[in-house]
């Protein structure tokens, strides 16, 4: 059975699911009350991350995506999250792998993290900055960007493993639309928006590929 999601212009209560065309096809009607519309009404992240302040600032310094200097604190800093971190990113102080972000994104992340901790919101970071070598080693697929094109390559993105698990890493719109109804997603996304971190609109609009687990920093430097 194939699923197609249609954005309706009406404000309904939650999501409604209806079948059309018999058993062979179903249509999922996405209401105006989808959490993505409520949490991100300005549709931040509808365009490429190349338009973010972080990407533009690094480009101005002729620093390429995926080739940031891990030893330069004006490019990347460690963020204290370690579970599942790749050995490509070793914190010299702890001698252990640790996730990294651009310093502007990290500053906002610390505030986001503190808000989630204070409210008892469960989260598990599963990806931060990715070097070109790291990105290239992920293979290919609808949810995998090519090296040099990912927001992770400039330290402006985080993935959450607990949200990834809700949809099983699937990028099709239907399971992601349903995943956005989960309390886990809504709690994390609402807190993130308070600090310029968003599940970007282009990955939460029920068109093409959606990723409820992927968040980007769209704030100032």
pLDDT score, position 33? 72
pLDDT score, position 14? 36
> 5 and 48, same structural domain?
no
> 119 and 100, same structural domain?
yes
**Range in 15-29, 58-72, 163-177, 192-206 with the lowest mean pLDDT:** 15-29
Q: How many angstroms separate the first and last alpha carbons of the chain?
A: 46
Full residue range of the structural domain in which residue 27 is found: 1-32
> 60 and 13, same structural domain?
no
Does residue 200 register a pLDDT over 90? yes
Does residue 116 register a pLDDT over 50? yes
> 41 and 17, same structural domain?
no
> 108 and 45, same structural domain?
yes
> 55 and 6, same structural domain?
no
SS3 per-residue string spanning 25-94: EEEEEECCCCHHHHHCCCCCCCCCHHHCHHHHHHHHCCCCCCCCCCCCCCCCEECCCCCCCCCCCEECCC
Does residue 8 register a pLDDT over 60? no
**Range in 17-21, 44-48, 135-139, 203-207 with the lowest mean pLDDT:** 17-21
> 127 and 210, same structural domain?
yes
Q: Averaged over 75-102, what is the pLDDT? A: 98
> 118 and 58, same structural domain?
yes
> 56 and 24, same structural domain?
no
Does residue 153 register a pLDDT over 90? yes
> Can you tell me the distance from the alpha carbon of 184 to that of 70, in angstroms, rounded to the nearest whole number?
31
Q: Averaged over 59-86, what is the pLDDT? A: 98
User: What mean pLDDT, rounded, does the chain reach?
Assistant: 88
Any idea what the CATH number is for the domain that residue 161 is in? 3.30.1380.10
pLDDT score, position 31? 53
> 67 and 128, same structural domain?
yes
Instruction: With cut-offs at 50, 70 and 90, classify the pLDDT of residue 131.
Output: very high
Residue 216 has a CB neighbour count (10 Å cut-off) of 25
> 156 and 71, same structural domain?
yes
Instruction: With cut-offs at 50, 70 and 90, classify the pLDDT of residue 19.
Output: very low
Overall domain count for the chain: 2
Instruction: Report helix angle 53-60 to 103-119, nearest 10.
Output: 150
> 130 and 86, same structural domain?
yes
């Amino acid at each position: 059975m194939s699923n197609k999601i249609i954005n309706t212009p009406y404000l309904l209560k939650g999501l409604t699911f209806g079948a059309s065309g018999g058993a062979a096809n179903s249509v999922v009607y996405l209401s105006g009350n989808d959490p993505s519309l409520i949490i991100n009404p300005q549709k931040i992240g509808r365009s490429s991350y190349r338009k973010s302040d972080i990407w533009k600032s690094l480009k101005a310094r002729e620093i390429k995506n995926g080739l940031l200097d891990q030893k330069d604190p004006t490019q990347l800093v460690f963020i204290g999250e370690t579970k599942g971190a790749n050995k490509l990113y070793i914190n010299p102080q702890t001698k252990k792998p640790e996730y990294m972000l651009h310093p502007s994104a990290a500053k906002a992340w610390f505030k986001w993290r503190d808000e989630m901790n204070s409210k008892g919101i469960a989260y598990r970071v599963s990806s931060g900055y990715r070097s070109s070598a790291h990105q290239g080693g992920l293979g290919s697929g609808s949810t995998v960007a090519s090296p040099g094109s990912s927001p992770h390559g400039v330290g402006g993105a985080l993935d959450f493993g607990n949200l990834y698990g809700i949809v099983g890493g699937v990028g099709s719109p239907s399971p992601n639309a349903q995943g956005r109804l989960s309390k886990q997603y809504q709690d994390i996304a609402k807190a993130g928006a308070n600090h310029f971190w968003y599940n970007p609109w282009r990955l939460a609009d029920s068109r093409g590929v959606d990723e409820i687990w992927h968040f980007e920093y769209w704030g100032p430097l």
